[in-house]
Structure formats: C-alpha cells, structure tokens
Amino acid sequence: MANIIDDLGYNQIFKASLAMEVRTRRRAAAIVSQMQGENLNVLEIGCGSGELSFFISDMLGEAAKVIGIDICESFILKAQKKYQLPNLDFMVFDFKQAKQIGKQKFDYVVGNGMLHHFYYELDEALANIKWLLKPGGKIIFFEPNLLNPYCYLIFNTTQWMRHLAKLDPNEMAFSKKFINKHLTSADFKNIRIAYRDFLLPNTPAILIKPLCFIGAILEKIPFLNCLSQSLLVSGASKH
C-alpha cells in the first residue's frame, strides 16, 4: 500500500484514493455517532494532512470546534491549505506536551491510527490525553488490530518486514486485551473495544461498495470479525 512519509522517514498516511476517502469518511461518521452534546470541543491527535478532522468538523456543524494537531509541520501546512472551515483549526503540536496547550480542555480527544505509535509508552500517552479532557470527557480512536493478517504480518513478524513497511520503531498493533488493560490502568470507564472495518485503502473503486456491505456483515459475526483491520476504542475519563 502506498504511503506518505513523515519528517522522520516513517510511513504515516495512506496516499489519497477514492477508497481512502470513503474509509476516512466512514471512520469520521463512526466517531461522530458516539458523540453527545452541543457546542463540542474536539481534538484530533496525529491529524496528518487533516482529512479526519475535516470530515468530523463538517459532520458536527459550526456549533462545534475541532482542532487537529500533529508534530509533522509539512502535514499541518498541507491540512491548513486544503481544509478550511469556520469551526476547524490545525496546529503543529506535540500532545506529549499537553500542559503547554493552556487551560483549554476538550469534550472528545480522537484519532485514527495514533495510539499504537506509543505502544511502549502507552500509559504516559493516556495520562497526557486525560489531562486534555474535560471531566467525563471521552476518547475515541481507530487503531490497527493485531489479529488482522496484514497487520500481524507487518507489525509482529520480522524486523525486515517492519523496515520494509517503514514502521516507527515504537509502533505496534493492538490486541483487545492489551488496550483494555492499559485503559483500565489509566482509570478510564465505560471502555468499549469493537472490531471494525474491512475496507482496504487501495481497494479498486468498483469493489468499494461490495466490500463495505460485506464488511458490515462480518463485523457482526463472532470470530470472523476479529480479522477486521481496526479496533474502535472508546472510554470516558473519570476525573
């Protein structure tokens, strides 16, 4: 699969395609479907070139405020140029420096394939995210599923495969058990982890609708659903 490389030389974003647009829009809709309330403040961590933040801000409407952050300046510059809405902002920022963002707190902190980049320091990452949340605020993330054959191949086989895929040394796909353990340890409540999405970013246009239809069925079938590409992870802060 073709990727866009970040400033450090690691693959971060699948290159634009119709399937990628459909996939990102569907993920935005799944995230928004879990949101409640009005005049929401939403932060996307690791927004890349801005697609997910754009779709979320468009779906929520102007009453909401969406901010996308990323440490890669070239990604943010691209997002700022391409996606402009009254309720949408982008900025270069490292969420690990959460306290430097000021007093601003968010109803939701979201992301698409972001948390797994902090596999070996996930407790620290979750602590920083909690600091960014309002009391009772919620996280919603799509993360790669270790049981998916492709994810297992590139993440959990040989260093040669990881190098070929240009993976960040710190990233690793999640199992349900792993992410649930760390969310529980970080004192999140109402934790939900679901197997989601069978649509590949490079799916030919003619196969997108059939694969979305079949994927929706597979997501509901025990054992088969565990082969999905991603885990949809959510939980609420107790503080």
CB 11 within 8 A of CB 20: no
Q: What is the CA radius of gyration of the chain?
A: 17
Single out the residue of 7, 38, 1 nearest to residue 23, CA to CA. 1
Nearest 5°: the CA angle 171, 176, 180 is 90
Element spanning 70, H or E = strand 65-70
Question: Which mean pLDDT values do the consecutive 10-residue runs of the chain (239 residues) have?
Answer: 44 69 96 95 95 97 95 93 96 80 86 93 93 94 94 74 67 94 96 95 92 96 96 91
Query: Would you state the structure tokens that stand for residue 46, as one six-digit string?
Result: 């690791």
DSSP 232: E
CB 10 within 8 A of CB 210: no
The pLDDT value given to residue 179: 97
The dihedrals phi and psi of 203, each to the nearest 5 degrees, come to: -65, 130
Query: What pLDDT does 6 receive?
Result: 44
State the fold for domain 17-229.
Rossmann fold (3.40.50)
User: Phi then psi for 200, rounded to 5 degrees?
Assistant: -80, 145
Q: How much is the pLDDT for 10?
A: 42
pLDDT the model gives residue 154 = 79
* Edge-to-edge strands, sheet with 41-45: 88-92, 65-70, 41-45, 106-112, 133-144, 230-237, 188-196
CA distances 235 to 79, 167, 180, Å, are: 28, 27, 10
Residue 68: beta bridge partners?
Answer: 44, 90
Give the integer Cα–Cα distance in Å for 194 and 206.
27
Please report, in angstroms and rounded to a whole number, the separation of the first and last CA atoms in the chain: 41
Distance CA 198, CA 194 (A): 13
Domain map (residue ranges) of the chain: 17-229
Query: Which pLDDT score, from 0 to 100, does residue 132 have?
Result: 92
Q: How many CB atoms lie within 10 A of CB 135?
A: 9
For 207, the token pair is 């196969």
CA–CA separation, 235 vs 219, rounded Å? 20
